[in-house]
Chain A
């Protein structure tokens, strides 16, 4: 799992690539929370999931956890480009009611 970020004005863009499972989540969490702490002043963060080749329920916990973290700074959280498999999991678990899909 790799995270690449890019800040443009009011928006933080974070591209995740690789497999998001229990094993890889710890690193992704640490990295994303570090980004949250250093971008507390931005308006919204977009997690681009296009290159996430695999995700299971760990991804639900990951996204809800980041939603809570960014939300404390008043930063809105969105996701973009989930694969079909990822989209199925995020829809059925109601993640999109907290985190908007762009």
Chain B
């Protein structure tokens, strides 16, 4: 592991924008393209929003969401690892929750596409959850960047 950061935020919806922007700012050290950056922001927003709206039933200031990032430069492209964790209500049936368009909050205009977006936008994705204990989402994004050649020279 080359570089890392850890954030703890109150489970409030006004922190969603801060959380995704903070991760995007951290990712800048890997020279991502705008497209890669946009994918990361969206995936983080999905994960953090889920903790607040589902894990903590709409959120409250005494509950917390944890976001951890680390950088892995061992492969050909740099890779950003992101974990988003809550200790909220957890998910009974993870497989069902991952199904596109499955939502338990249809009444609130949720579309059930959050997990599908995370899986599509990132290169690695997994969820661990236990009912009553909480949920942890792990994601990885390969950062190819604008110009791999110039980054290799910078690293040398």
Contact = CB atoms under 8 A, between A and B. Distances in A.
Contacts of A61: 108-111
Nearest to A93: B113
B52 A57 contact: no
Contact of B49 (A58, A88, A89): A58
Nearest to A54: B41
Main secondary structure of the interface of B (DSSP, over half): helix
Given A21-B16, A22-B16, A84-B35, A60 B120 contact: no
8 contacts: A23-B13, A23-B16, A56-B45, A57-B113, A58-B49, A61-B109, A92-B113, A93-B116
Interface of A: 19, 21-23, 25, 29, 54-58, 60-62, 64-65, 84-85, 88-89, 92-93
Given A19-B17, A21-B13, A61-B110, 17 more contacts: A21-B49, A22-B53, A23-B13, A56-B46, A57-B49, A57-B111, A57-B113, A61-B111, A62-B109, A65-B109, A84-B35, A84-B38, A85-B42, A89-B117, A92-B113, A93-B111, A93-B116
Interface of B: 13-14, 16-17, 20, 35, 38-39, 41-42, 45-46, 49, 52-53, 108-111, 113-114, 116-117, 120-121
